Amino acid sequence: MRRSQIAGLVLVWRFSLVSAICCTALLLPTTSEVNAADSASAKTAKQAKSKTAEQGKTALSDETKSVENAYFAAGCFWKVQYIFSKVPGVIATKAGYTGGKTENPNYGQVCSHTTGHAETVRVEFDPKKVSYKKLLEVFWSHHDPTTLNRQGPDIGDQYRSEVFYANAAQKEEAQNYLAELQKSRKFSSPIVTKLEPIGQFYDAEEYHQDYFKKHGQSCD
């Protein structure tokens, strides 16, 4: 093979190699393109995560909206908690203290008649399943609202009859229900139940919680 032919072949080979490299380079994405793609992917993932979080907040918000609290004092909270825990639509109950001035009171302090607190039950309920008016009916039907600071043998201001309303709507309903009771003369003596806005509610000691259930007792 002549030298000129060999040189020609080498030139052709070099041209083919350069062409192949150039074509490969054209097919590969540039650094800016890679960065843009990564940024777009991250943005999409962030948007998806944000949407999921927002949906979770919405679901939680909807669930929270369907739950309300009511507060009732009607003598010893062991019985009051037991009564309300059996009402359909009631989600949970908690025995505690409220209506007084002492912070974080204990049972002994409340019984000393120096705190101003009443034995009270917080009733967590679903208004779609049980109305606040129904809870008022249960409240006034299961204690004597005509005895001041007393329920049966239990005597003291901590055993008083009182409704602690959580909002304006509850206040209005409680006032209307009380007015109806007074007008109906269902009770032979005047009703002494107080209506006050709820203040700080303090959980009672654990041994007071669901006392009747824990000891296999009832007060139906």
How buried is 149 (Cβ within 10 angstroms: 0-12 exposed, 13-18 middle, 19+ buried)?
Answer: middle
Q: Could you tell me which residues come within 8 angstroms of residue 210 by beta carbon, excluding any fewer than 6 positions away?
A: 81, 82, 85, 93
Structure tokens at 214: 């824990």
Evaluate whether 78 touches 212 at the Cβ level (below 8 Å). yes
Evaluate whether 69 touches 121 at the Cβ level (below 8 Å). no
Q: What is the DSSP letter of 134?
A: H
CA dihedral 11, 14, 16, 20 (to 10 degrees): -160
- Closest by Cα among 83, 75, 115, 113 to 98: 115
Q: Count of CB atoms within 10 A of residue 145's CB?
A: 24
Give the span between the Cα atoms of 163 and 144, in whole angstroms.
Answer: 13
Active-site residue list: 76
Tell me the CA distances in angstroms from 8 to 2, 12, 156, one per residue in order.
10, 6, 117
